Amino acid sequence: MKPSISIPAALFCVLATIAPVVGAVSPPVNVRIDASEAQATLAILGKLRAGSPVTPGDWSALFATRGYQRLKEREAAFKRPFTDDQFKAFVTNPQLIAQSQILADTLQRWLSADLSQIAQRSFAYLPDGATIHATVYPLIKPKPNSFVYQLDTDPAVMLYLNPNVTKDQFANTVSHELFHVGDAQNCPPPAVAEKEKVLDARQKAMLEWLSAFGEGSAVLAAAGGPGVHPHWSDPQADRDVWDKAMAGFPTDFQSLEQFFSNIADGKLTGDAIATKGYTFFGDVQGPWYTVGYKMNITIERILGRSILIQALCDKRIYLATYNAAALTSNRQGNPALPLWPDNLRDFLNI
């Protein structure tokens, strides 16, 4: 962390001129940034840094922000302690006060990102007629985690205001999460959803975990296409980590093949499926990301983006679509790609 510097009084006047909710993107992509929680927290930090009294009204303004309320609701849903008094103690901690300038600068950088362009990256990998609606909340909060929340009702992308995250990295993260939001809101189409209702328990488990490949889809959407490195906005060290993980594609593919085979054969059931499935998320970006990404760019490069989108939105045909693309790629003399066995390809009654 860089040393903090004094905050000019004028800085908070500048912050005050930024609307709490930054302009929405025109439909069908209705995405906005609500920075009111971070701004209200920064206003309090500014007073604390200047030695000015913080009034009950200052705290009430913070606690009334939608970002704070939703964060509190989410923590309660996970049965984690989160009270107004605890948050006051967090905000008044000298370490946070010393970071005020850096946090303010970070928020301004993030708010300068082109939200329309960010959203359109995700929208490019959704079906025709799709819509996206969500609110992005930059948050100053105790836990340094970011997450999506209430995808089925009022989708939120809750982002920890991390000074180490650049504007480009912020844009990449938001695009990634907005793909998940759009996928949840638009896929599968109603006709496909009706057909999925007749699947048995093992088939439904298979379908559920095929959705985990959505991490690879979100990586591709956030990059903007197969010709852009997924970690284009990150330091070279992060690119190297991704490239090393991608080199393990054949081995990871085989591990996932065994996972799905165990579901299809009934060797994995109940909670054991989830226990095993979660291991493939990895500490940062595991096989759900890398294998999904590789399958997706193979489909897009060989069969086209429209075919990829169709397969992403109807997971019943996802493995068969990849196999078709991989077979063509192999016949063209490209490095050999593994194929899903027929029993898994056909398991969802394609």
- Do residue 135 and residue 240 come from a single domain? no
- Do residue 110 and residue 221 come from a single domain? no
Residue-level pLDDT at 85 = 97
Residue-level pLDDT at 28 = 64
Residue-level pLDDT at 11 = 34
Question: What is the SS3 assignment for 131?
Answer: coil
In a domain, 2, yes or no: no
By CB atoms closer than 10 A (0-12, 13-18, 19+), residue 136 is buried
Q: Is the pLDDT of residue 69 over 90?
A: yes
Q: Are 295 and 216 in contact (CB under 8 A)?
A: yes
Whole-angstrom distance, CA of residue 337 vs CA of residue 48: 59
- Do residue 109 and residue 59 come from a single domain? yes
In a domain, 224, yes or no: yes
> What is the model's pTM?
0.87
- Do residue 176 and residue 209 come from a single domain? no
Domain count, the chain: 2
Secondary structure element (H or E) that encloses residue 45, with its range: helix 36-50
**Tens-place pLDDT, residues 186-241:** 999 999 999 999 999 999 999 999 999 999 999 999 999 999 999 999 999 999 99
Please give the torsion angle defined by the CA atoms of residues 330, 336, 340 and 345, in that order, rounded to the nearest 10 degrees: -10
The last residue of one of the domains, among 186, 203, 232, is 186
**Tens-place pLDDT, residues 122-134:** 999 999 989 999 9
Residue-level pLDDT at 350 = 62
DSSP states along 308-336: HHHHHH-GGGHHHHHHHHHHHHHHTTPSP
Q: Of 5-9, 14-18, 105-109, which one has max mean pLDDT?
A: 105-109
Residue-level pLDDT at 284 = 82
Backbone φ/ψ region at 147: left (φ over 0), alpha (ψ -120 to 50), beta:
beta
DSSP states along 254-307: HHHHHHHHHHHTTSS-THHHHHHHHHTTTTTT-HHHHHHHHHHHHHHHHH-HHH
The last residue of one of the domains, among 186, 218, 244, is 186
Residue that wins the pLDDT comparison between 190 and 283: 190
- Do residue 177 and residue 204 come from a single domain? no
Whole-angstrom distance, CA of residue 109 vs CA of residue 170: 9
Q: Is the pLDDT of residue 26 over 60?
A: no
Residues linked to residue 156 through DSSP beta bridges, in sequence order: 135, 149
What is the rounded average pLDDT of the residues 322-331? 98
By CB atoms closer than 10 A (0-12, 13-18, 19+), residue 150 is middle
In a domain, 1, yes or no: no
Whole-angstrom distance, CA of residue 326 vs CA of residue 298: 7
- Do residue 34 and residue 170 come from a single domain? yes
Domain containing residue 240: 190-345
The last residue of one of the domains, among 186, 214, 236, is 186
In a domain, 238, yes or no: yes
- In the block, tokens 């990895």 appear at 282
Residue-level pLDDT at 49 = 96
- Do residue 314 and residue 226 come from a single domain? yes
Residue that wins the pLDDT comparison between 153 and 104: 104
In a domain, 20, yes or no: yes
